[in-house]
Amino acid sequence: MTDRQVVLEVVGVRVELPSSQPVLILRGAEPDTQEYHVAVVVGPAEAAAVARALQGEVPPRPMTHDLLTAVLESSGGGIEAVEVRLLDASTYAGTIRLNNGTTLDARASDAIAVAVRAHCRVTMELQTLRAVSVTPREPGSASPAGAPAASQEAETVPQKGPISEEEIKEFQKFLSEAEPEDFDRS
């Protein structure tokens, strides 16, 4: 028997310092899960794709996630939901579920980028959400004791509402100045 699926809200994109690692922040959207926050470490391209979609930015020509969403919506009858799950102790995976019942395996970041564009539900099993949840903290405060290893580098203060223009400019500046070594995970 599987655990109950709960709906998550894609809160925003953050760049964690000092590592300059882009992170997607999700939060439980249901009344009994709103204290749970999930930080998904992603690449800069995926972070930028989600940030653009959250801001409602429409590029002059479709970007990869825009194209993928359009293809799935036109050929699969629409996108029902996206599920985020743990692949292993520190890696998330995604499943895109189409309205016709077809499921597609995806990277969590790609699945979330599609969900934001398709305005569909993002879900996670409640048991997984509880296990990977991070506690928001104020900048400069100590890390919570016992935080899961996968979330210690991704602790952040979630933002309600749209991402500010200042944050977008800061992220764009980071992307324009980033070097491949900045993303070395060793």
Q: How many C-beta neighbours within 10 Å does residue 82 have?
A: 27
Report the pLDDT value the prediction gives residue 134, as an integer from 0 to 100: 83
Q: How far is residue 90's CA from residue 95's CA, in Å, rounded to a whole number?
A: 17
Q: How far is residue 34's CA from residue 27's CA, in Å, rounded to a whole number?
A: 6
Report the pLDDT value the prediction gives residue 40, as an integer from 0 to 100: 93
Structure token digits, residue 144: 């919570």
Coil/strand/helix, residue 142: coil
- Maximal C-alpha separation, the chain: 49
- In this structure, which amino acid lies at residue 9? E
Which domains, from first to last, does the chain contain? Answer: 5-178 (3.10.690.10)
Report if pTM > 0.85: no
Report the pLDDT value the prediction gives residue 156, as an integer from 0 to 100: 33
Q: How far is residue 141's CA from residue 120's CA, in Å, rounded to a whole number?
A: 35
Q: What is the mean pLDDT of each run of 10 residues along the chain (186 residues)?
A: 86 87 93 92 92 90 90 87 91 94 94 96 95 68 33 34 58 61 48
Query: For the CA atoms of the chain, what is the radius of gyration?
Result: 16
